[in-house]
Chain A
Amino acid sequence: MTDGPVLVVGGGPAGASAAASLAEAGLPVLLVEQRDALGGAIHRQPAPGHAHHIRLPARHRRNWAALTARLSTTAGRIEIRTRTIFLGVDGQGRFLFDDRAAERVFACRPRAAIIAVGAVETIRPFPGWERPGVMTAGGAQVLLKETGRPPQGPILVAGSGPLLLAVAAQLAEAGNPPVAVLERGRPWRAPGALAQLGLSGGLVGEGLGYLARLAASRVPYRTGAEVTRAEPQGDRLKVVIRTGSAEDVVQVRHLLVHDGIAPNRTGIPLPAPDAAVPVLLAGDGREALGADAAILDGRRAAMQLLARFGRAETTTPAEERGLSRARAVQTALAQALHAEAAPPPPETLICRCEGRSYAELAALPEDASAREIRLMGRFGLGACQGRFCGPMIAALRGRPMPAAAPPRWPLRPVSLAALARLTTDETE
Chain B
Amino acid sequence: MTAHFYWNGEPVPFRPGETIAAALLGAGIVHLGRGRIFCGIGACQGCLVAMTGAAAVEACLTPARNGLRLSPLAEEQADHD
Q: Which residues of A are interface residues toward B (Cβ below 8 A)?
A: 34-36, 41, 46-50, 83, 85, 100, 103, 118, 120-121, 130-136, 138-143, 146-147, 149, 151-152, 253-254, 264, 352-355, 382-384, 387-388, 412-415, 417-418
Contact = CB atoms under 8 A, between A and B. Distances in A.
B37 interface: yes
B16 interface: yes
Interface string B39-81: 1111111101000001111101111000000000000000101
A35 B22 CA distance: 14
A311 B42 CA distance: 36
Contacts of A264: 43
B44 A387 contact: yes
Contacts, number: 118
A120 B16 contact: no
B38 A134 contact: yes
Contacts of B41: 41, 118, 120, 138-139, 142
Contact of A147 (B18, B37, B38, B44): B18
A143 B21 contact: yes
A388 B39 contact: yes
A135 B18 contact: no
A100 B62 contact: yes
Interface of B: 15-19, 21-22, 25-26, 28, 30-32, 36-46, 48, 54-58, 60-63, 79, 81
Given A139-B37, A147-B22, A152-B28, A415 B54 contact: yes
B17 A50 contact: yes
Given A47-B15, A47-B18, A100-B62, A136 B39 contact: yes
Contact of A384 (B18, B26, B45): B45
